[in-house]
């Protein structure tokens, strides 16, 4: 009894410090299991095919780590998606440079950033995680590692993306676009039948960015974070804002302290509002807790995410801070 009371006081104090004390009732709800089987959720419309590929594994009782990799690979390899992998929009000088990260249920992490010429950076990130003592490889070092591990060098700039870039060059005078249309990273988080969580995040980054710019997606804690005891979170949008606020880590930590996924996402967006100059920019988060509770929330309207559970794959419009 005494122990419970002490825990209660500890929890209320912690939540109070986070400005969440008013939601303690809701926070307690997060402990309830809402999903009886595997769940996968991912950002934007390309989340539908990604979830489907992930479900091929999850639906058969496979591991979340295999599902998240398989899911995002589908989007990386499709040249029609101009924000990830093959066909991604280039930087302002015409180079397609890719960022990706992956985390498994053991808390292991791997990432690559500023990687060129490789269609599936997520699989390189997984190799970094599983076969090196490191977490992150960058640029030429990441490319060299990929080639040594059997990945094939490719031209990732499709005619369609090249044409769009050439048109952009005429009007934009090399100012990187920072509005809401050019953010379409795939972040995908999943819970498997065994109750294990994993996540993957992959992107060609901000369209027409400066050469060498790295976003949030390969930064563990910014674009992706997984703690198998608590939950997982991933992000899309203007990466600089998530890096400055370590958004995905923040969401998982808030859930650890009792916030529901939606409360945690709202607080992370609130942090961006309070601490950054977010004018004209979009940021959106997805969160999934250990019990299968999930949420999506964005800074402004227009963010959609796909959820697949019980074999059903559906799009949702996320609620947002700015209406
Ligand atoms: N988060 C990505 C970045 O800043 C962009 C995106 O979500 O499309 O690189």
Element (DSSP H or E) covering residue 146: helix 139-148
Identify the residue with better confidence: 22 or 304: 304
Residue nearest to atom 6 of ligand 1 (CA): 183
202 inside domain: yes
* Range of lowest pLDDT (78-87, 101-110, 200-209): 78-87
Listed in sequence order, the residues at least 6 apart from 175 whose beta carbon sits closer than 8 Å to its beta carbon are: none
Q: Percent of the chain at pLDDT above 70?
A: 85
CATH number of the domain within which 169 lies: 3.60.20.30
Mean pLDDT on 36-44: 92
Domain count, the chain: 1
Could you confirm whether 185 is annotated as catalytic? yes
For the Cβ of 204 lying below 6 angstroms from any atom of ligand 1, the answer is no
pLDDT value at 131 more than 60: yes
Q: 187 CB under 6 A from ligand 1? A: no
Distance CA 31, CA 122 (A): 31
Structure tokens at 286: 């997805």
Question: Which residue in the list 43, 97, 185, 202 is annotated as catalytic?
Answer: 185
Average pLDDT on 188-198 reads 98
Mean pLDDT of 254-260: 98
Q: Is residue 199 part of a domain?
A: yes
Rounded (10°) angle between helices 139-148 and 121-131: 80
Tell me the two tokens of residue 232.
Answer: 């997982």
Query: What is the pLDDT, as a whole number, of residue 260?
Result: 98
- Please report which confidence band the pLDDT of residue 179 belongs to, taking 50, 70 and 90 as the band edges: low
| Residue 34 reports pLDDT greater than 80 | no
pLDDT for the residue 112: 98
In a domain, 59, yes or no: yes
Joined together, the tokens standing for residue 13 give 């104090």
Cα of 153 to ligand 1 centre, how many Å?
23
Is 312 among the domain residues? Answer: yes
- What's the rounded Cα separation, in Å, for the pair 246 and 240? 10
Instruction: Look at residues 26, 63, 13, 10 and name the one whose alpha carbon lies nearest to residue 255.
Output: 26
Cα of 313 from ligand 1 centre, angstroms: 24
The pLDDT confidence band at residue 35, using thresholds 50, 70 and 90, is low
Tell me the residue range of the domain where 94 lies. Answer: 27-322
The average confidence (pLDDT) of the chain is 89
The reply to whether 94 falls in a domain is yes
Q: What pTM was estimated for this model as a whole?
A: 0.89
């Amino acid at each position: 009894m005494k122990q419970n009371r002490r825990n209660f006081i500890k929890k209320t104090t912690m939540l109070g410090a986070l400005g969440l004390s008013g939601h303690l009732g809701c926070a307690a709800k997060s402990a309830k299991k809402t999903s009886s089987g595997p769940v996968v959720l991912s950002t934007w419309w390309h989340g539908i095919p990604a979830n489907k590929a992930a479900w091929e594994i999850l639906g058969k009782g496979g591991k979340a780590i295999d599902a998240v990799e398989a899911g995002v690979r589908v989007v990386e390899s499709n040249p029609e998606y101009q924000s990830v992998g093959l066909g991604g929009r280039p930087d302002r000088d015409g180079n397609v440079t890719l960022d990706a990260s992956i985390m498994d249920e053991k808390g292991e992490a791997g990432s690559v950033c500023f990687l060129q010429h490789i269609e599936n950076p997520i699989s390189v990130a997984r190799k970094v995680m599983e076969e090196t003592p490191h977490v992150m490889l960058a640029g030429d070092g990441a490319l060299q590692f990929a080639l040594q591990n059997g990945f094939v060098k490719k031209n990732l700039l499709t005619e369609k993306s090249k044409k769009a870039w050439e048109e952009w060059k005429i009007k934009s005078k090399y100012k990187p676009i920072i509005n809401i249309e050019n953010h379409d990273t795939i972040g995908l988080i999943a819970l498997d039948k065994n109750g294990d969580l994993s996540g993957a995040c992959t992107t060609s980054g901000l369209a027409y960015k400066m050469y060498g710019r790295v976003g949030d997606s390969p930064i563990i804690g910014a674009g992706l974070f997984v703690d198998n005891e608590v939950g997982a979170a991933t992000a899309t949008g203007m990466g600089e804002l998530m890096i400055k606020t370590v958004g995905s880590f923040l969401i998982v930590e808030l859930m650890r302290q009792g916030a529901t996924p939606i409360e945690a996402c709202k607080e992370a967006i609130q942090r961006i509002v309070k601490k950054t100059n977010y004018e004209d920019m979009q940021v959106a988060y997805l969160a999934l807790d250990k019990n299968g509770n999930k949420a999506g929330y964005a800074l402004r309207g227009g963010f959609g995410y796909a959820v697949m559970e019980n074999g059903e794959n559906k799009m949702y419009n996320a609620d947002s801070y700015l209406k």
